[in-house]
């Protein structure tokens, strides 16, 4: 039997400062921060928030550059159903869903795992879905310099589901297209591929 252990490293001073802030918030809301179930919550929240915003300290372009390979391939590459989790910058509540990415190489391809990593870097910042879509699109376009890039994100927003209008079944879709994907036939091929289940 193996024991589960995940090692995390966070700056000590920042973690302590955040822990104090979360402790004050919890107390201000009327909860007893010394209660057994909440006693360690300020520290856990401090670490969680640093993880959820760790994208500020990562360079997505460098991630792509580290896995670019010269290749004479000029057809569409699609990675779909990339899970994403982010925090809405307006309420700091989660939004989550899937990203679909396609690009048409222009002399270079990139390791497929790097595209989800780029999504994670931008998602782990305070975001709005529109900017997240744009960030991913422009990073791939500027770094790989392909003949075309497409990004579609479908996400549910807890700020709409838990508060405000409280619409539990709403999904927001955003998209961006560059180069060859601005042509309707190429765009339609991409949209058809991400909406179909290929066996």
Active site positions, annotated = 88-91, 129, 157, 159
DSSP string covering 161-192: HTSTT--TT--EEEEEEEEGGGSHHHHHHHHH
Query: Would you say the C-alpha torsion 60, 62, 67, 68 has a positive or negative sign?
Result: positive
SS (H, E, C) 15-53: HHHHHHHHHHHHHHCCCCCCCCCCCCHHHHHHHHHHHHC
Rounded CA gap, 169 and 68, in Å? 39
What is the separation, in whole angstroms, between the first and last Cα of the chain? 37
**Phi and psi at residue 101, in whole multiples of 5°?**
-125, 140
Q: Give the pair of three-digit tokens for residue 87.
A: 């925090």
**8 A C-beta contact, residue 107 and residue 70:** yes
State how far Cα 183 lies from the chain centre. 27
Q: Are 187 and 149 in contact (CB under 8 A)?
A: no
């Amino acid at each position: 039997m193996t024991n589960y252990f995940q090692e995390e490293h966070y700056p000590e001073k920042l973690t302590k400062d955040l822990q104090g802030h979360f402790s004050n918030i919890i107390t201000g809301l009327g909860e007893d921060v010394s209660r057994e179930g909440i006693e360690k919550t300020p520290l856990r929240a401090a670490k969680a928030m640093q993880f959820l915003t760790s994208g500020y300290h990562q360079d997505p372009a460098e991630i792509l550059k580290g896995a670019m390979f010269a290749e004479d391939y000029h057809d569409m590459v699609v990675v779909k159903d990339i899970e994403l989790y982010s925090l809405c910058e307006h309420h700091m509540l989660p939004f989550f869903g899937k990203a679909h990415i396609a690009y048409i190489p222009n002399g270079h391809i990139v390791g497929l795992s790097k595209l989800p990593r780029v999504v994670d870097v931008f998602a782990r910042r305070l975001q709005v879905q529109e900017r997240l879509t744009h960030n991913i699109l422009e990073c791939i376009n500027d770094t790989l310099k392909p003949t075309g890039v497409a990004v579609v994100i479908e996400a549910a927003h807890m700020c709409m589901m838990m508060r405000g209008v409280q619409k539990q079944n709403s999904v927001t879709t955003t998209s961006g297209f560059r180069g060859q994907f601005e042509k309707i036939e190429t765009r339609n091929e991409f949209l058809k591929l991400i909406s179909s289940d290929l066996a």
